[in-house]
A = this chain, B = another copy of it.
């Protein structure tokens, strides 16, 4: 008990159209650390304050979007236990041997009702955050924190069908909690669900879409709202296309800016937001307050934010 089971979003595999441009974006500009290129030309990144070998995988192909996402779980026993529960829920589970994914132990994989491919794994090589584990100090060497000063991969928002089923799966099978949801004001239909396995307001979220397996954005945690402003300055400097921001979300209360990678995949950097605990009621937003729910500093809904997915 305490924090056990599913720990965190540990890996997001993003499809890009041009690896050179993607490297400039994720590495040179955003400041993620490139840790490996594999034999297939996939490029692996970590944020500075992550301990695992990597959290972002880029694959060049002719269609943008997300191949899969993966959660890291507490241990092997968790994997076994969750496999049973996933099957009991009615989803097929695929086994992936250790080493198939670089630096990673065995994985289990399933396709969610929303159409997304999700993996779970208990082991990935840890290379640390450069500070070490003995008298580490607080501050890495100059150059380690760079670019947008990203601390960690934080969460993803995915678009798809059957998101009520997804919510049921995450809460009943994976023991996530629904921190917030957005519903249609008139019909009450669920439009977006925010799901947490920790004390963050969300670790994963799903937005209803007519098409399965779509990618809305991947989000990275910054240390402070100050750093959101500075990231926005760099986004402007590099003429990175901005979707929305800087602004503050009503949902999660995070300070945010959304922008696009060169392939059209949406990224977010954010900071702040409240501490969530599973014993508080789910916050419900409806579309009568859609503007406030998404961008609470001006209450303006941006069409692109609702419509552009990869």
Q: Is the beta-carbon distance between B7 and A5 smaller than 8 angstroms?
A: no
Across-interface contacts of A51 in B (CB, < 8 A) = 277, 279-280
In the complex, what distance in Å separates the CA atom of A177 from the CA atom of B279? 21
* Interchain CA distance A234-B297 in the complex, whole Å: 7
A286 close to B236 (CB less than 8 A): no
Q: Is the CB of A292 within 8 A of B1?
A: no
Per the bound structure, the CA–CA distance linking A207 and B107 in Å amounts to 40
Complex Cα spacing A198 to B229, Å: 27
Give the total of A residues in contact with B, Cβ under 8 Å.
82
Assembly stoichiometry (copies): 4
A147 CB, nearest partner CB in chain B, Å? 7
Interface residues of A in 255-310 (CB under 8 A from B): 255, 257, 272, 274-275, 277-286, 288-289, 292-293, 295-300
Q: Is A187 an interface residue (CB 8 A)?
A: no
Given contacts A225-B224, A225-B229, contact A197 B138 (CB under 8 A): no
- Set of chain B residues within 8 Å of A284, measured between Cβ atoms: 133-135
* Cβ distance A104 to chain B, nearest Cβ, rounded Å: 13
Query: In the docked arrangement, what's the CA distance between A102 and B274, Å?
Result: 26
A266 CB to nearest chain B CB (Å):
14
User: Which stretch from A19-27, A155-163, A209-217, A241-249 is at the chain B interface?
Assistant: A241-249
Residues of chain B lying within 8 A (CB to CB) of residue A117: none
CB interface residues, A 167-222, toward B, < 8 Å: 174-177, 196-200, 221
A46 contact set on B, CB distance < 8 A: none
Q: How far is the CA of A242 from the CA of B245 in the complex (A)?
A: 13
With A78-B1, A139-B237 as contacts: A255 and B229 at CB distance below 8 Å: yes
Q: Quick check: is A113 within 8 A (CB to CB) of the other chain?
A: no
Most B CB atoms within 10 A — which of A1, A133, A221?
Answer: A1
Q: Does A8 contact B (CB under 8 A)?
A: yes
In the assembled complex, the CB of A108 is this many whole angstroms from the nearest CB of chain B, namely 15
Q: Which residues of B contact A7 (CB under 8 A)?
A: 277-279
Interface residues of A in 54-109 (CB under 8 A from B): 72, 74, 78, 81
CB nearest to A257 among chain B residues: B297
CB distance from A148 to the nearest CB of B (A): 11
Known A6-B1, A200-B199, A296-B138; judge A72-B177 contact (CB<8 A). no
A residues adjacent to B (C-beta < 8 A): 1-8, 49, 51, 72, 74, 78, 81, 126, 133-139, 142, 146-147, 151-152, 174-177, 196-200, 221, 223-226, 229, 232-237, 239, 242, 245-250, 253, 255, 257, 272, 274-275, 277-286, 288-289, 292-293, 295-300
In the complex, given contacts A2-B5, A135-B292, what are 19 additional A-B residue pairs having Cβ atoms less than 8 angstroms apart? A1-B175, A2-B176, A3-B3, A4-B278, A7-B278, A134-B283, A134-B284, A135-B284, A137-B250, A137-B296, A139-B237, A142-B147, A199-B200, A221-B275, A223-B272, A224-B226, A233-B297, A239-B299, A242-B300
